[in-house]
């Protein structure tokens, strides 16, 4: 982490968080980004996920993070040796200073001007309207172009050609069209199927689904107790489960794209979220600020969904969240949405309602709730607000 904004070559200021310093004081994190440093061999190395903490007077490199990312830090004989465990390469030897700290000097990479030699064959590929290598070789062979060099090596991968060659297949023609909501449903998972599963992936998913189901029932049971629901163990009725697997490919201009737009989980009581490869991306909105949620190793994130907000009469608030993509690493998550089954009616739990605490939400069948949800206008407003009772006295 650093307090020097000028060090960043890329900085996302949409991150808000706090860190606890050695003296127990808290400091505000206002951004996260990438800084470039020069190695001894004059190569540029990048340090990712660097926190911008404006009040910090010294730059701090976390030994914990180094270890987490596959490096070892060995403190012995008054020096610290940082090694890349995979290749065994020693990255840094840091001598202990008189005041017993280990100051690591990393010259920062700052470029005012950079010269680049462009691959000649690529240049001619562009000059001739993205002509392929064979075409260029033919031009050369027939001596048709003055100054055209020998094209004897593979032209570098051309991004424009890749985009240009992409095409879109037509959708299959069908005369049938869905006319009513829920007549046609796209589901993320399906089954049962008799096709053999690749490397038992289906079994793994089924086991996961069963275990998450057990876990979510336990969590809901505890929540019912905490909320003082009249719980005969069946207060939420039959539970249904839906799963969404999210894949966020890396994007070098990650600040210009969004993984999942801001939303609350409208059809869920709770969502059990597994962040598969522990890459940060989930953010929650608090006081109009987006706060990054650190992916906890070996743990789930449990989100409150809109339906629990309804049933708890607003005592539990569903959380507004979104997912952003990482500049260099792909990210995977599995969201398991736990909802009451379609034949249920939902509404605030009667135990929570009296003449002082009036119902804040209408009672509605899950079927109508779902229908309204898939039928809702996409105007950015929360679907939950449609079932909210607007209090005339307020």
Ligand X SMILES: O=C(O)CCC(=O)C(=O)O
Q: Which of residues 55-94 bind ligand X (CB under 6 A)?
A: none
How far apart CA 366 and CA 347 sit, in angstroms, is: 10
Q: Which of residues 259-278 bind ligand X (CB under 6 A)?
A: 260, 265, 273
CB of 8 or CB of 248, closer to ligand X: 248
Provide the minimum distance between the beta carbon of 365 and Fe ion in the complex, in angstroms, as a whole number: 23
Establish if 254 lies at the interface with ligand X (CB under 6 A): no
CB of 35 or CB of 325, closer to ligand X: 325
CB of 155 or CB of 260, closer to Fe ion: 260
Provide the minimum distance between the beta carbon of 341 and ligand X in the complex, in angstroms, as a whole number: 20
Q: Which member of 30, 82, 265, 307 binds Fe ion (CB under 5 A)?
A: 265
Establish if 30 lies at the interface with Fe ion (CB under 5 A): no
| One-letter-per-residue 3-state SS of the chain | CECCHHHEEEEECCCCEEEECCCCCEEEECEEEEEEEECCCCCEEEEEEEEECCCCCCCCCCHHHHHHCCEEEEEECCEEEEEECCCCCEEEEEECCCCCCCCCCCCECCCCCCCCCCCHHHHHHHHCCCCCHHHHHHHHHCCCCCCCCCCCCCCCCCHHHHHHHCCCCCCCCCCCCCCCCCCCCCCCCCCCCCCCCHHHHHHHHHHHHHHHHHHHHHHHHHHHHHCCCCCCCCCCCCEEEEEEEEEECCCCCHHHCCCEEEECCCCCCEEEEEECCCCCCEEEEECCEEEECCCCCCCCEEEECHHHHHHCCCCCCCCCEEECCCCCCCEEEEEEEEEECCCCEECCCHHHCCCCCCCCECCEEHHHHHHHHHHCCCCCCCHHHHHECCCCCC
Dihedral angle computed from the Cα positions of residues 130, 132, 137 and 143, in that order, rounded to the nearest 10 degrees = -40
Provide the minimum distance between the beta carbon of 322 and ligand X in the complex, in angstroms, as a whole number: 7
CB of 30 or CB of 265, closer to Fe ion: 265
Smallest CA-to-CA distance from 124 within 112, 105, 139 is with 139
Establish if 125 lies at the interface with ligand X (CB under 6 A): no
Provide the minimum distance between the beta carbon of 340 and Fe ion in the complex, in angstroms, as a whole number: 18
Segment near Fe ion (CB under 5 A), from 117-125, 205-213, 262-270, 384-392? 262-270
CB of 150 or CB of 286, closer to ligand X: 286
Establish if 246 lies at the interface with ligand X (CB under 6 A): yes
Give the binding-site size for ligand X (rule: CB under 6 A): 11
Q: Which of residues 326-385 bind ligand X (CB under 6 A)?
A: 333, 335
Give the binding-site size for Fe ion (rule: CB under 5 A): 1
Segment near Fe ion (CB under 5 A), from 63-71, 139-147, 198-206, 257-265? 257-265
Provide the minimum distance between the beta carbon of 316 and ligand X in the complex, in angstroms, as a whole number: 17
Provide the minimum distance between the beta carbon of 199 and ligand X in the complex, in angstroms, as a whole number: 24
Establish if 282 lies at the interface with ligand X (CB under 6 A): yes
130 binds, among Fe ion, ligand X, none (CB under 5 to 8 A by kind): none
Provide the minimum distance between the beta carbon of 11 and ligand X in the complex, in angstroms, as a whole number: 22
Q: Which of residues 315-334 bind ligand X (CB under 6 A)?
A: 321, 323, 333
Q: Which member of 33, 281, 340, 348 binds ligand X (CB under 6 A)?
A: 281
- 384, burial (CB in 10 Å: exposed 0-12, middle 13-18, buried 19+): buried
Residues that bind Fe ion (CB under 5 A): 265
Residues lying near ligand X in the complex (CB under 6 A)? 244, 246, 260, 265, 273, 281-282, 321, 323, 333, 335
């Amino acid at each position: 982490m650093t307090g020097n904004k000028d060090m960043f070559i890329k900085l996302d200021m949409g991150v808000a968080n706090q860190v606890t310093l050695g003296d127990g004081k808290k400091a505000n994190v206002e951004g996260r980004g990438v800084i470039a440093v020069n190695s001894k061999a004059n190569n540029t190395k990048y340090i990712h996920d660097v926190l911008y903490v404006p009040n910090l007077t010294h730059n701090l490199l976390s030994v914990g993070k180094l270890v987490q990312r596959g490096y070892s830090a060995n403190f012995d004989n008054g020096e610290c040796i940082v090694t890349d465990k995979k290749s065994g390469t020693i990255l840094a030897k840091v001598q202990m200073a008189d005041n017993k700290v280990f100051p690591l000097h990393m010259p920062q990479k700052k470029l005012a001007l950079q010269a680049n030699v462009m691959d000649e064959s690529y240049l001619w590929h562009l000059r001739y309207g993205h002509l392929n290598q064979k075409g260029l070789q033919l031009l050369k062979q027939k001596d048709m172009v003055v100054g055209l060099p020998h094209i004897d090596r593979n032209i570098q991968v051309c991004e424009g050609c890749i985009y240009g060659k992409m095409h879109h297949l037509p959708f299959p023609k069908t005369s049938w069209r869905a006319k009513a909501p829920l007549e046609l449903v796209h589901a993320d998972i399906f089954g049962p199927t008799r096709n053999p599963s690749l490397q038992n992936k289906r079994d793994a998913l089924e086991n996961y689904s069963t275990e998450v189901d057990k876990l979510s029932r336990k969590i809901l049971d505890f929540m019912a107790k905490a909320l003082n629901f009249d719980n005969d163990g069946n207060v939420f009725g039959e539970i249904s489960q839906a799963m969404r697997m999210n894949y966020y490919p890396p994007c070098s201009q990650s600040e210009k794209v969004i993984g999942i737009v801001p939303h609350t989980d409208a059809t869920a009581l709770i969502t059990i979220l597994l962040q598969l490869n522990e890459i940060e991306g989930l953010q929650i909105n608090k006081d109009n600020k987006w706060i990054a949620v650190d992916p906890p190793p070996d743990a789930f994130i449990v989100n409150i969904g809109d339906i629990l907000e309804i049933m708890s009469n607003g005592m539990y608030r569903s959380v507004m969240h979104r997912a952003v993509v990482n500049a260099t690493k792909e990210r995977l998550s599995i969201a398991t949405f736990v909802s009451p089954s379609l034949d249920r009616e939902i509404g605030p739990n009667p135990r929570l309602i009296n003449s002082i605490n009036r119902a804040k939400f209408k009672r509605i069948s899950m079927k109508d709730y779902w229908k309204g949800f898939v039928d809702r206008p996409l105007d950015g407003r929360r679907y939950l607000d449609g079932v909210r009772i607007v209090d005339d006295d307020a």
